[in-house]
A and B are shown apart, each in its own frame.
Chain A
């Protein structure tokens, strides 16, 4: 008997001031293709995001397999199953390469496969090494769709595939390839939940789930698409910090944001001339560490970067959290403090470097968490989170006092 892979029980989800889903149920077993039908605004995307654990529930709970993964009391646990996702936005940064994004998506499932036949089927082979920002909208959409399909193909265990309007902007041959993939995954025992307005994709359904009523209509799916075997190899998942470091290295966003703030602060201090000898020890240390603090106060460039195409939401759904810069701010703080130590007092101090590293690293990550806490807002960039940053001056002042006492 087919195992239940996905179950949403009496869920209620609010968006804005309205209740979008109320007392809603959804059940999907191995080999099910549930197509969500309904008018614009009926809650199809909301349902997909709720079962992907991206939206908080007002009531009810969602199970993946037999495990509760999100409920109305705020519990949010990692899924025991492999979950892959294509949101309405593509969930990939423009600086990622096509091949790289697909490899990351598969590594989240702990497996990898040779995906060149899929690139062929979606006419992307010639673009495999291109940055996603160089692709057309339709091509970028194909990459997002493949990032949802490939982890299931690579996985030997039953997977949940969630796709929100995967057909949007796709050409005829790609829709045909998409339908073939859906049928193949269904036959392999995975479960798919797809929101679509395209009749060809709807023909792949084993169940049509109507929104907002929640009524299910069983269907006979088209039989196109063969089950082919794919040789897979085990891979370890990519952590959000590793991805963040790769992107920071490639885009040099840290240089533009954090390092420049530190250099400008150091430049201003140096422009005042050789005056540090007349300062007290506390004042001297304060000036040496000021560039490191300035670098940290600029926060983590990955937060703003990952708002592009809802990359942060994609990572939250498939990984442990949104990407971040990991150890980079700590390294930057050490280098900046070494430079300011030399520039201001012509000395090398390992202790100052260590303190500078901690100062930049901790400040940057605290600000990242503060910024990420506003991600649910409709306009996160318009919120005044910078108003809370002066609190970081107190630990800085206490630290200086402690080190010079």
Chain B
């Protein structure tokens, strides 16, 4: 069977992520033992940050899909909404569990209910869980689509909020390490691996969304065929 673009991107993404993790454990330079409580656990950073980047792409797509459905009533946009929420759920969980593992090692606690960044990102992930499970509990229809698209639109407010949270409330989660005014705190090898990981996660998430849209399109075709067999429109 011929491989589609989405599946090919998924495959390249998986290979890239596997390589990233291998390099993170075997090749990436160690961090200073003075700067970290648990320097070895810092290597989870090469998974945590790229997956957060991929999550923001997914939530961006969710927003575009939700807005497109609300304002254009486009089937393509509804498929984007579904793909964005599923990809947001997958990557959101990747970020949350890797953050919990790192937090447990570094801070001595996997979660801090008073940290704005942790909680706003946690909510984004819960929103994705809500959209995916909630959609599964309802028959497809304009009412279902409108309701979940509205949640997708409101939920996107959390994306810029999550992004700036560590700049405004430096509670426990550290601030940015790249793209800052002082040039960041990463050396060249670390920066390269982070970039490679980010590209791999980007390929994975784009592949995931393309595949998800294709599956949704098949589901819609099956539903239309079933309606024809029922004698409906």
Residues of A that sit less than 8 Å from B by CB: 14-18, 56, 58, 373-374, 376-379, 382-385, 387-388, 390-391, 393-394, 396-398, 400-401
Establish whether residues B137 and A384, one from each chain, have CB atoms under 8 Å apart when the complex forms: yes
**Bound complex: CA A396 to CA B146 (Å):** 31
Establish whether residues A377 and B133, one from each chain, have CB atoms under 8 Å apart when the complex forms: no
Name the residue of chain B whose CB is nearest to the CB of A401. Answer: B114
Establish whether residues A379 and B146, one from each chain, have CB atoms under 8 Å apart when the complex forms: no
Name the residue of chain B whose CB is nearest to the CB of A391. Answer: B123
**Bound complex: CA A397 to CA B120 (Å):** 13
Which of B113, B116, B130, B143 is within 8 Å of A387, CB to CB? B130
Give chain B residues whose Cβ lies under 8 Å from the Cβ of A391: 119, 122-123, 126
B167 is an interface residue with CB less than 8 A from chain A:
no
For residues 178 through 233 of chain B, which have their beta carbon under 8 Å from a beta carbon of chain A?
Answer: 223, 232-233
**Bound complex: CA A168 to CA B125 (Å):** 47
Establish whether residues A387 and B133, one from each chain, have CB atoms under 8 Å apart when the complex forms: yes
Establish whether residues B138 and A383, one from each chain, have CB atoms under 8 Å apart when the complex forms: yes
Name the residue of chain B whose CB is nearest to the CB of A389. Answer: B126
B24 is an interface residue with CB less than 8 A from chain A:
no
Which of B120, B129, B147 is within 8 Å of A374, CB to CB? B147
Most central of A58, A373, A383 by chain B CB within 10 Å:
A383
Give chain A residues whose Cβ lies under 8 Å from the Cβ of B139: 16, 378-379
Interface of B is mostly: helix
Establish whether residues B122 and A376, one from each chain, have CB atoms under 8 Å apart when the complex forms: no
Give chain B residues whose Cβ lies under 8 Å from the Cβ of A56: 146
Establish whether residues A394 and B116, one from each chain, have CB atoms under 8 Å apart when the complex forms: yes
**Bound complex: CA A71 to CA B149 (Å):** 19
Within the complex, the shortest CB–CB distance from A375 to chain B, in Å, comes to: 9
Establish whether residues B113 and A393, one from each chain, have CB atoms under 8 Å apart when the complex forms: yes
Establish whether residues A384 and B133, one from each chain, have CB atoms under 8 Å apart when the complex forms: yes
Establish whether residues A377 and B233, one from each chain, have CB atoms under 8 Å apart when the complex forms: no
B73 is an interface residue with CB less than 8 A from chain A:
yes
Establish whether residues A397 and B134, one from each chain, have CB atoms under 8 Å apart when the complex forms: no
Give chain B residues whose Cβ lies under 8 Å from the Cβ of A400: 114
Establish whether residues A385 and B143, one from each chain, have CB atoms under 8 Å apart when the complex forms: no
Give chain A residues whose Cβ lies under 8 Å from the Cβ of B138: 377-379, 382-383
B67 is an interface residue with CB less than 8 A from chain A:
no
Which of A374, A378, A394 is within 8 Å of B119, CB to CB? A394
Give chain A residues whose Cβ lies under 8 Å from the Cβ of B146: 56, 376
Given contacts A373-B147, A385-B130, A388-B130, contact A394 B142 (CB under 8 A): no
Q: List 12 A-B contacts (CB under 8 A).
A: A15-B143, A17-B142, A56-B146, A373-B147, A373-B151, A376-B146, A378-B139, A378-B144, A383-B138, A388-B127, A390-B126, A391-B123
For residues 86 through 139 of chain B, which have their beta carbon under 8 Å from a beta carbon of chain A?
Answer: 113-114, 116, 119-120, 122-123, 126-127, 129-130, 133-134, 137-139
Establish whether residues B119 and A376, one from each chain, have CB atoms under 8 Å apart when the complex forms: no
Establish whether residues B134 and A17, one from each chain, have CB atoms under 8 Å apart when the complex forms: no
B19 is an interface residue with CB less than 8 A from chain A:
no
For residues 13 through 51 of chain B, which have their beta carbon under 8 Å from a beta carbon of chain A?
Answer: none
Which of A15, A382, A388 is within 8 Å of B141, CB to CB? A15
Establish whether residues A387 and B129, one from each chain, have CB atoms under 8 Å apart when the complex forms: yes
